[in-house]
Structure 1
Amino acid sequence: MAKDWTWSVRKLGRFHLRRPGSPPAALLELCIRSRYNMSALGDAPTGHAQRDGTLTHPSGETMTQHGGQVDGAKAPNTGPIAIWDWPVRLFHWALVALLGGAWASAEAGVEYMQWHMRCGYAVLTLLVFRVLWGLWGSRSARFTGFVRGPRAVLSYVHAWFSRRPQHYLGHNPLGGWMVMVLLALVAMQAGTGLFANDDIFNEGPLAHLVTGDTSSFLTFIHKTNFNLLLLAVGLHVAAVLLYLWRGENLLKAMFTGRKPAGVYEDRPGFMAPLWRAAVCLALAAGTVWAVLELPG
């Protein structure tokens, strides 16, 4: 390493790399040790740094700092981090309200079943929108950003029980799969409702497309699946409370769209423009309208 680079050790084992005449490039101990195999005593890394702020790993991998985050490595963020966009937050709370409305209208009696169905149509629209937004939305909303493989899930669970939890800006590996389970159960609930009937006054808008036995079977699935949905929602709420007990306020982040500064396993990504969300919502509404109207 060039002689004009100097390393200093401060309290709590934090390291600062300074180059005379250029802005300092600060790295936390965790980032330095994990990427450069440094010991707890502050050994100098075997890689080197460039004038433009890029860091070169001994393997040749180049990392660049972006607002407190380093490509290819974990680094500190210095302020509240925007993570959940408006479409994701509105989808989340609108789905909560609509599921509650669907349940209340079903319990209120047959005279409110039209409202039950309207809530179901709105839920279907939200689901189609979420699928589209999971493909073309903001980075944190995309399925490719939070649906991870078994190895990542097991690593996360192991870290959790070892009292060294991994922190994620977006959905963690376990939470990502809970999201997929919830979406699947809601889709099952809304989909079977289209073909369900109460054998008296009401039937779903597509019930006439199937036989009576098939409609009755789908009605059974509709009622049974609701209990599974309640169980999954209960687990979801319990997990949110557990994280809150351990100092991570997931509920607040779903209101504000931001998480506090810290060291995370993932990085903040781009936020998709709102016009794209409007297009996805229009496509979702058009799709649901076509499903409900065209078969008749």
Structure 2
Amino acid sequence: MVKVKVWDGFIRGYHWLQVILLFALWYCADNDEMEWHFVFGYALLALWITRFIWGFIGSDTAKFSYFIKSPMALIDYLKDKNKFDRVKFGHNPAGACMVVLFLALIITQLFSGLSASDDILSEGPLAQYFSAETVSFMTWLHSVNFDVLLGAIALHIIAIIAYKLKKQPLVKAMFTGAAEYKLVSSIVQPKMLNGWLAWVLYAAIAGAIWWQFGHENLGYLLY
């Protein structure tokens, strides 16, 4: 068995920070802590934007061009009876589809939340730019999309369990950054970049978003 570095520090941190922020967002909304809900939402928006940019300039396994394939590639992968034995660094075609799905659902959740209103106390900073009908639709979408997101999370967990049963510990690799493979010496290994580059970018994007949108929410919480 050979250990291969497949996830850089940003991708690993992004994955677990996203989990934490989604839980925090749900908890705050469920307990009417809307100021914190917005603060965590801005943090997640900055994280999403950074991941999107990293998908073009980051490590090989983080790049969209590396793991996003055609629908036919997904079908062929699902039909392949030996798919669990194939050597594939990073996301396989099924995992790639899950990444795209999560990115789409999360940006939908973020944008709809920024444009939503409860008509009482809380209103997203973008709601002022839309008609009452559009804001009402965004508020509905924010609720419905979250249920879809929960379904996608459940599907993701089921897939992780399935791979674990096939002796592929995906969760461990997302902690350590490395995974073990058989006979990979002749295969070109993915190029890794320093994840700190992405975290610096994240800090800059988060600062810009909080300066534009979040300073009032954060100021309310601090004072």
**How high is the TM-score relative to the length of structure 2?**
0.88
Counterpart of 1:132, as a letter, is: I
Q: Conserved in 2, the CA contact under 8 Å of 1:168 and 1:266? A: no
Aligned 8 A contact 2:68 2:93 in 1: yes
- Give the conservation status (yes or no) of the 8 Å contact 1:134–1:142: yes
1:269 aligns with 190
The alignment status of 1:131 with 2:52, answered yes or no, reads yes
Candidates 171, 185, 192, aligned match of 1:251? 171
Normalising by structure 1, what TM-score?
Answer: 0.67
1:158 Cα deviation from its structure 2 partner: 1.4
Counterpart position of 1:91: 14
Match 1:114 to one of 25, 35, 59: 35
- C-alpha contact (below 8 Å) 1:81/1:268 kept by paired residues: yes
Is the CA contact (8 Å cut-off) linking 2:42 and 2:206 kept in structure 1? no
Give the Cα–Cα distance (whole angstroms) in 2 for the partners of residues 148 and 286 of structure 1.
Answer: 34
Instruction: Give, in whole Å, the separation in 2 of the partners of 1:222 and 1:88.
Output: 26
Cα displacement string for residues 121-180 of structure 1 (whole angstroms, at most 9, x for unaligned residues):
111000000011111111111111110112321221111xx2453342200011101110
**Alpha-carbon distance, 1:206 to partner:** 1.7
1:205 equivalent to 2:128? Answer no
How many pairs does the alignment contain?
A: 212
Aligned: 1:80 with 2:3: yes
2:8–2:59 CA contact under 8 A, matched in 1 = yes
Matches of 1:102 and 1:164, distance apart in 2: 36
Q: Distance in 2 between matches of 1:163 and 1:279?
A: 41
Assess if the C-alpha contact under 8 Å between 2:60 and 2:191 holds in 1.
Answer: yes
- Taking the aligned partners of 1:194 and 1:179, their CA distance within structure 2 comes to 22
2:98 paired with 1:178 = yes
What residue identity is the alignment partner of 2:11? V
Name the counterpart of 1:288. 209
Greater Cα radius of gyration, structure 1 or 2: 1
User: Counterpart of 2:76?
Assistant: 155
1:220 aligns with one of 140, 145, 150: 140
Q: Are the aligned partners of 2:11 and 2:195 in contact in 1 as well (CA < 8 Å)?
A: no
CA contact (8 A) 1:170 1:266 kept: no
Residues 164 and 216 (structure 1 numbering): CA distance in 2 closer, same or farther, change over 3 Å? closer
% identical equivalent positions: 38
Higher helix share: 2
**For the Cα contact (< 8 Å) 1:192–1:218, is it kept in 2?**
yes
Displacement after TM superposition at 1:286 (Å): 5.0
